[in-house]
């Protein structure tokens, strides 16, 4: 198990600390830089000067799903059915494809704080079944748990059995119960904070999963959060987590699940609970959504099935922005699809940060 050391985050991202293992998918992707397939040249041979061909790789790729007014997924749209707008200006779509078979990079983020005590076994069983169904030959996934620490339980692997075993080893950690308090900052206890006590580092987990694990990957990327949505003591804010996910071009799905008895009144909507609002904000900004299952096993199974169906019924629309000033600023995007006279519901991220291609990784 590898712990994300928050106080050393800046060093870790810069490579000064022991880096996390980052491995890119082998399959080509619309948002990957051009790769030369030309044979290597013999340095001993002199050739005539050649003109360097610069390929504009500042291609924005938007992954999205489309549903009709009844909520049914639509798998057979064409380029003519959809239009893409950036900052309210229509863009010329260069590529439009259905991406049901493109490799998928998936991060599972498992809440192991005290509120999950009675639902963790349910998450482990249902999550394991999901991984065995969804992972295909070219897919990869990793597993993170978060509570008073953010821990990389299993790094990238295609082996659903390995991920399942790692998930089944996850334990509730409150730094007082199953987890014992230890040296602050070393993953064995709480790191001293100002204000709210450290308890559930949800925003930190999303930030680290996006920045340390997903940003350098290519193609379709998604995170699935199994949590009650409450954050306590994160170093990063919810907006930081959203921005990190957007820069990684990662979709965030949130399955709201909790031990209802943990909250006063027997409901996660009482006793000061407010995590669902921030989770909706995060999911909608990245092209995902929130599914509230309470502590119901059948609803949890249905939630995983819905996510699987959506990830296997995606489109990708790619374009080079009319605004060629890649200044790192946020740009709003909107995808509109229509079939006949019916306006369809599009589930896509709300924007991106215009970072030059050579600085994106």
Residue indicated by tokens 């193609």: 219
**Residues ≥6 apart with Cβ < 8 Å to 51:** none
Residue 1 CB coordination number (10 Å) = 13
For the record, the structure tokens of 82 come out as 């959809």
What's the confidence (pLDDT) of residue 36?
Answer: 36
What's the confidence (pLDDT) of residue 360?
Answer: 54
What's the confidence (pLDDT) of residue 153?
Answer: 96
Say if domain 101-311 classifies as CATH 3.40.50.410: yes
What's the confidence (pLDDT) of residue 359?
Answer: 60
Q: Any idea where the domains of the chain sit in the sequence?
A: 60-100+314-359, 101-311
What's the confidence (pLDDT) of residue 341?
Answer: 84
What's the confidence (pLDDT) of residue 199?
Answer: 82
Per-residue pLDDT of the chain (361 residues; tens, 9 = 90+): 555 555 434 333 333 333 333 333 333 344 443 333 344 444 434 433 433 333 345 889 999 999 999 999 999 999 999 999 999 999 999 999 997 778 999 999 999 998 898 999 999 999 999 999 999 989 999 999 999 999 999 999 999 999 999 999 999 987 654 443 333 333 333 333 334 456 899 999 999 999 999 999 988 999 999 999 999 999 999 999 999 999 999 999 999 998 766 655 444 443 445 678 999 999 999 999 999 999 999 999 999 999 999 999 999 999 999 999 888 899 999 999 999 888 999 999 999 999 876 665 4
What's the confidence (pLDDT) of residue 1?
Answer: 58
**Region at 213 (left for phi over 0; alpha for psi -120 to 50; beta for the rest):** alpha
What's the confidence (pLDDT) of residue 310?
Answer: 94
What's the confidence (pLDDT) of residue 297?
Answer: 92
Q: How far apart are CA 51 and CA 33, in angstroms?
A: 20
* Cα 11 versus chain centre, distance: 23
């Amino acid at each position: 198990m590898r712990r994300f050391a928050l106080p050393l985050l800046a060093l870790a991202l810069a490579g000064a600390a022991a880096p996390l293992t980052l491995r890119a998918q082998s399959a080509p992707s619309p948002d990957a830089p051009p790769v030369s397939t030309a044979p290597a040249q013999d340095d001993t041979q002199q050739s005539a000067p050649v003109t360097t061909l610069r390929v504009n790789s500042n291609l924005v790729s938007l992954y999205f799903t489309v549903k009709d007014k009844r909520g049914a997924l639509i798998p057979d749209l064409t380029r003519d059915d959809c239009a893409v707008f950036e900052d309210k200006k229509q863009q010329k779509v260069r590529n439009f494809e259905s991406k049901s078979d493109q490799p998928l990079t998936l991060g599972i983020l498992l809440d192991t704080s005290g509120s999950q005590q009675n639902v963790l076994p349910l998450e482990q069983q249902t999550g394991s079944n999901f991984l065995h169904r969804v992972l295909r030959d070219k897919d990869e996934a990793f597993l993170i748990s978060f509570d008073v620490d953010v821990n990389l339980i299993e790094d990238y692997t295609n082996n659903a059995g390995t991920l399942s075993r790692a998930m089944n080893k996850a334990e509730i950690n409150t730094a007082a119960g199953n987890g014992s308090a230890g040296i602050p900052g070393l993953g064995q206890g709480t790191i001293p904070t100002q204000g709210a006590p450290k308890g559930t580092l949800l925003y930190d987990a999303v930030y680290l999963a996006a920045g340390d694990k997903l940003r350098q990957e290519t193609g379709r990327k998604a995170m699935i959060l199994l949590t009650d949505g409450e954050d306590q003591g994160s170093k990063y804010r919810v907006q930081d987590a959203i921005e990190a996910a957007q820069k990684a071009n990662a979709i965030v799905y949130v399955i709201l699940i909790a031990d209802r008895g943990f909250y006063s009144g027997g409901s996660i909507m009482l006793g000061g609970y407010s995590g669902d609002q921030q989770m909706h904000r995060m999911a909608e900004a990245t092209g995902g959504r929130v599914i509230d299952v309470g502590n119901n096993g059948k609803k949890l199974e249905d939630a995983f099935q819905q996510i699987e169906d959506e990830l296997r019924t995606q489109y990708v629309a790619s374009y080079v922005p009319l605004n060629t000033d890649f200044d790192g600023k946020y740009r709003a995007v909107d995808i509109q699809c229509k079939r006949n006279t019916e306006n369809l519901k599009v589930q896509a991220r709300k924007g991106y940060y215009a970072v030059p291609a050579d600085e994106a990784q």
